[in-house]
A and B are shown apart, each in its own frame.
Chain A
Amino acid sequence: MTATRSGFAGSLRAETLAARRSVVPRFTLIAVTLAGAVAGLFMFVAADPARARSLGLLNQKAQLAGMTADWPGLLAFLAQLAAVGDLLLFAFVTTWVFGREAAHGTLRYLLALPVPRTTIALAKLVVIAVWALVANLWLTVIVLGCGWLLDLPGADPAVIGRGLATAGLAAGLMWLVSTPVAFVACAARGYLAPLASALAALVLAQVATALGWAGVTPWAIPAVAAGLAPSVTLNALGLAIAALTGAAGILGTLAWWRSGLAGA
Chain B
Amino acid sequence: MNAVIEVRGLSRLFGSVTAVEDVDLTVGAGQIYGFLGRNGAGKTTLIRCLLGLIPPSTGHATLFGTTVRAGRTPCRLWADVGYLVEGPGLTPWLTVTEHLETAAGYRDLPRSAVQDVIARLDLGRYRDVRAGVLSLGNRQRLGLALALIHEPELLILDEPVTSLDPAGVVEIRGLLRDLADRGVTVFMSSHNIGEVARLADRVGIIHAGRMVTELSADRLASNGERLVSTFRTAGQAEQAARALRAHGLDAVPEQVRVSTSSPEAIQRSDDVAAWLVEAGAAPMSLGLEHEDLEDLFLRLTEGMPA
Residues of A within 8 A of B90 (CB): 104-106
Main secondary structure of the interface of B (DSSP, over half): loop
Q: Chain A: how many interface residues by the 8 Å CB criterion?
A: 38
Query: Cβ of A14 and Cβ of B105 under 8 Å apart?
Result: yes
Asked if B79 and A17 make an inter-chain contact with CB atoms under 8 angstroms apart, the answer reads no
Partner of B79, one of A3, A11, A120: A3
**Central interface residue in A13, A115, A262, A263, by most chain B CB within 10 Å:** A263
Q: Is the CB of B108 within 8 A of A104?
A: no
Stretch from B68-76, B167-175, B231-239 at the A interface: B68-76
The answer to whether the Cβ of B250 comes within 8 Å of any Cβ in the partner chain is no
A207 to B171, CA, bound (A): 63
CB contact under 8 A between A263 and B79, given known A108-B89, A115-B106: no
A113 at the interface (CB under 8 A from B): yes
In the complex the two chains form, what is the Cα distance from A1 to B104 in whole Å?
Answer: 12
CA–CA, A13 to B80, complex, Å?
A: 22
| Distance A22 CA – B92 CA, assembled complex (angstroms) | 9
Instruction: Indicate if the CB atoms of A105 and B54 lie closer than 8 Å.
Output: no
User: Which residues between 71 and 119 of chain B lie within 8 Å of chain A, taking CB atoms?
Assistant: 71-73, 75-81, 83, 85-87, 89-94, 98, 101-103, 105-109
Is the CB of B55 closer than 8 A to any CB of chain A? yes
Cα distance A3–B83 in the bound complex, in angstroms: 16
Q: Which residue of B lies closest to A255 (CB)?
A: B71
Q: B-facing mask of A82-120, CB < 8 A → 1, else 0? A: 000000000000000000100011111111111111001
A18-B102, A263-B52, A264-B54 known; A104+B89 contact, CB < 8 A: yes
Given A106-B89, A263-B53, A2:B94 Cβ within 8 A: no
Assess whether A11 is in contact with B98, with CB atoms less than 8 Å apart: no
Question: Shortest Cβ distance from B184 into chain A, in angstroms?
Answer: 12
Interface residues of B, count at CB 8 A:
39
| Secondary structure type dominating chain A contacts | loop
Contact bitstring A186-227, B, C-beta under 8 A = 1, else 0: 000000000000000000000000000000000000000000
Partner of A114, one of B71, B79, B87: B79
Complex alpha-carbon distance, A199 and B75, angstroms: 37
**Residues of the A chain whose Cβ atoms lie less than 8 Å from the Cβ of B32:** none
Select which of A10, A21, A111, A262 is within 8 A of B105 by beta carbon. A10
A17 proximity list for chain B (CB < 8 A): 94, 98, 101-102, 105
Provide the bound-state CA to CA distance between A257 and B51, in Å.
15
**A5: Cβ under 8 A from any B Cβ:** yes
The reply on B6 being an interface residue by CB < 8 A is: no
| Complexed CA–CA distance, A108 and B85 (Å) | 8
B60 within 8 A of A: no
CB–CB B91/A106 < 8 A: yes
Taken together as a complex, chains A and B put the C-alpha atoms of A22 and B83 apart, in Å, by: 26
Contacts of B127 in A (CB 8 A): none
Cβ-based interface call for B226 (8 A): no
Tell whether A263 pairs with B109 under 8 Å between CB atoms, given A3-B79, A104-B92, A114-B78: no
17 inter-chain pairs at a CB distance below 8 angstroms, sorted by A residue, are A2-B80, A3-B108, A3-B109, A3-B150, A10-B105, A10-B108, A104-B89, A106-B89, A109-B103, A109-B146, A110-B106, A111-B53, A114-B106, A117-B75, A262-B53, A263-B53, A263-B71
Residues of chain B touching chain A, judged by Cβ–Cβ distance below 8 Å, are 48, 51-55, 70-73, 75-81, 83, 85-87, 89-94, 98, 101-103, 105-109, 146, 150-151
